[in-house]
Amino acid sequence: MTNHPYEHFESHPCWSVLEQALEELVENRDFVVATPRPYIVGSLTKALVDAGLVPEKGDP
């Protein structure tokens, strides 16, 4: 991956789930992506963490 502000979330369990979901939406032509994917996936992962819906990386 290239440098982006969400690099610290790349190993979070949500990252791969959100990345795969985004890929499926794009493949099905349900969603058009103009923004680099790490920014989209990172932003969504951060939103879930900030809302307390998923734990921070490393939390039990």
pLDDT score recorded for residue 57:
72
Nearest 10 degrees: CA dihedral of 36, 43, 17, 52?
180
On the question of pLDDT at 41 being above 90, the answer is yes
Confidence of residue 33 (pLDDT cuts 50, 70, 90): very high
The Cα 11–Cα 58 span in angstroms is 10
Its pTM stands at 0.86
